[in-house]
Amino acid sequence: MLRVLLVMGALLGSAHGELLATFSQAGKTDVRVDRIAALHVPPGQPPTPFLEPGKFAVSWNGAIELKERRRLLFSFGGQGKGRLEIDGKEILTEEGALGAAKSERLRLNPGVHEIEVTYESLEDGTSRFQIYWEETDAMPRQTIPPNAYAVELSDEARLGELMRHGRLNFTQQNCAKCHVPAKGFGASPMPETGEIGPILVGAGDRITEEWLRKWIADPKALKPTTHMPQLVDPKTPEGLQKASDLAAYLASSKMGAVAVKEPDASLAKDGGVHFHELGCVACHYPAGEAGKAGDLGRVPLNNVASKFLPGQLAAYLKKPDAYHPFSGMPDFQLSEEEANSLAAFLRAEAQGKDTTMPYEFPAGDAKRGAVVAESLQCGTCHPGLPGAVSKAPGLETIFELDWATKGCIAEEDARPGLPVVNLMDGDRDALLAFSKAGPESLKKDSSAEFAKRQIESKRCLACHSMDDQQSLLNSLHDSTAGLAAHVPALQQRVDQTRPQLTFIGEMLYTSYIESMLAGTAKPRPRPWLGTRMPAFRAHAKPLAEGLSMLHGVAPSGPAKVDVTAGLVEIGKSLVGAQGFACTTCHGIGDQQPTAAFEVGAVNFQLTPLRLREDYYYRWMDHPSAVVPGNKMPKYAEGNRSQRGDVLNGDAGKQYEAIWHYLHAPNQ
């Protein structure tokens, strides 16, 4: 929910560091907020979920804010038709294969300059577009960064963002599991419509009956951000009995698993170190602290001791998606020692701090619980449970209703007997806005918008910075530093800065992003980090593709580089001590860096698998212009290299030689 809160907060203000994107198609329009003026739409996919596949146009409007006078050139990339206006004057128009032309050099004074970028797709709707700027002798050709933009949000943009938030919330609440479309969602629906809830068959091997009673009676009391609705009324004897009966039924469901021994309590101190190192505080309250609704979206851990049967918390930590493929808890691929010590720590911290409820639960009956599961249609969200066939009105039917007065989000006295959904601030308004758009957008999707939603729902900004927004962990990590204070070696490590996500889609090959998300990237690119990138397997491929398309890049794997032997030798000398001394910080395969400074660096052997060529040249030319604050030095000014004796001092040619060396088979 972190991204939801940030977006909704921004929508209430006026100035916003992004652009208004107005899409038009056959008389229809759809407005959203974009970080950058870029897109890639493959054949057969709509430009936005609220439009159809086929030819479209888009106009990005806003302003560029400059702090000092700049002499800038602008250019496009992609295919289609692009047009740029600054301060009401046409600067550049290009059609067909984009990128050959550049604007005249503009002298722009400090302050705000209005900008309009328009783009028309190909006839079949296929599109790819990017806009770049550059400054002679000062800045290489690069994507105009999000922090350069500013915009006054329009009512149409607010509505567009509200509808999108409602659409996401509709799927997160699993509304379409009960309200099923008459003819299904089709071949390419919004991916979240296919997500399922936790698999509860065999729950009795893992979860305590006591916790299940509490959870069924009042889910949000245990997890303020839950999407599990309240299906019984715990304020009535009937509701408490249903909770107890259903808990007894679930606890009786066993698969014959062998009992597991609880980890040794003496491991708890080591577990605290892991809790701090992994940055768990970015997504969880410090163990033992209860959470509250709306506070940064973090999940409390004070009930873990009472939730899991002996040994099962460690098993869950080792493979969180074993019984819930779409769990928000990713897989850190913990070792046996890490899982056991973390479990010991969490149990010790949570002991005796369970959420108390003002109810006295009666004894439950498993047979009655099976009937309750059928009546509550538990099987619509949880595979294998009774009640898998929904008896609720169909999807098309509910979109004909006024949700403000009828249905699950109507006022309390207008929805007797219906599930009580757990809505955060802004959710109800967003759902009402989405209800006016109709259900058709659920049957199609935009890969780029999917990536934007996943950045939110997977809480990527809890650990990673993006644009000018610092990660949540940056402000919270010190709060758990005391757990590792007794380990001196942790205080002496190289810089622990995690990679930024600002240009991730145009920086890395799609295949490498997918391997990182799937947890299959070996070796780790940054093994010196105490935090580590966990696996989000369920959506790894579509999320990786969406991140590329978000930046106007066609999804792809590593490109073949036909290396030139002469350039390879020059590149080898340039990365060494007599050149730019890259090997001081960067290893090459088994060859370790020659000196250990305060900053770690990715092994050069991974470059062919990771880096896109365009990004590489931008980075080499001016690293701090791409990622402000990084420690990578700049080796040239105005393409004049520090090594004037190599390739006539031409920095671009020297960087090309290094690129060939990095792609040589036996580097």
Cα separation, 93 vs 103, in Å, equals: 9
Q: What is the DSSP string of 127-168?
A: EEEEEEEEETTTEEEEEPPGGGEEEEPPHHHHHHHHHHHHHH
pLDDT for 631: 84
Q: What is the DSSP letter of 258?
A: P
pLDDT for 411: 85
pLDDT tens by residue, 130-145: 999 999 878 889 999 9
Beta bridge pairs of residue 595: none
What phi and psi values does residue 435 have, to the nearest 5 degrees? -60, -30
pTM for the predicted model, two decimal places: 0.95
* Mean pLDDT for the chain overall: 93
Q: In the numeric block, which tokens belong to residue 33?
A: 């907020």
Beta bridge pairs of residue 381: none
**Count of Cβ atoms closer than 10 Å to residue 13 Cβ:** 9
Cα separation, 303 vs 351, in Å, equals: 8
Q: In the numeric block, which tokens belong to residue 606?
A: 């991974």
Distance of CA 216 to the CA centre of its chain: 29
pLDDT for 12: 37
Beta bridge pairs of residue 59: 22, 118
Residue from 368, 420, 414, 385 nearest 233 by CA: 420
Domain architecture of the chain: domains with CATH: 2-153 (3.90.182.10), 162-196+383-443 (no CATH), 203-374 (1.10.760), 447-550 (no CATH), 565-662 (1.10.760.10)
Cα separation, 54 vs 47, in Å, equals: 8
Q: In the numeric block, which tokens belong to residue 548?
A: 């590329």
127-135/15-16 β-pairing: unpaired
Convert 74-105 to b/e letters by CB count within 10 Å (16 or more is b): bbbbbbbbbbbbbeeeebbebeeebbeeebee
Cα separation, 387 vs 374, in Å, equals: 4
Give yes or no for a contact between 35 and 147, defined as CB atoms under 8 angstroms apart. no
Burial group, residue 40, by CB count within 10 angstroms (0-12, 13-18, 19+)? buried
Residues of the chain with confidence (pLDDT) below 50: 1-15
pLDDT for 295: 65
Q: What is the DSSP letter of 477?
A: G
pLDDT for 15: 47
pLDDT tens by residue, 53-73: 999 999 999 999 999 999 999
Question: Looking up tokens 């997890």, which residue turns up?
Answer: 223
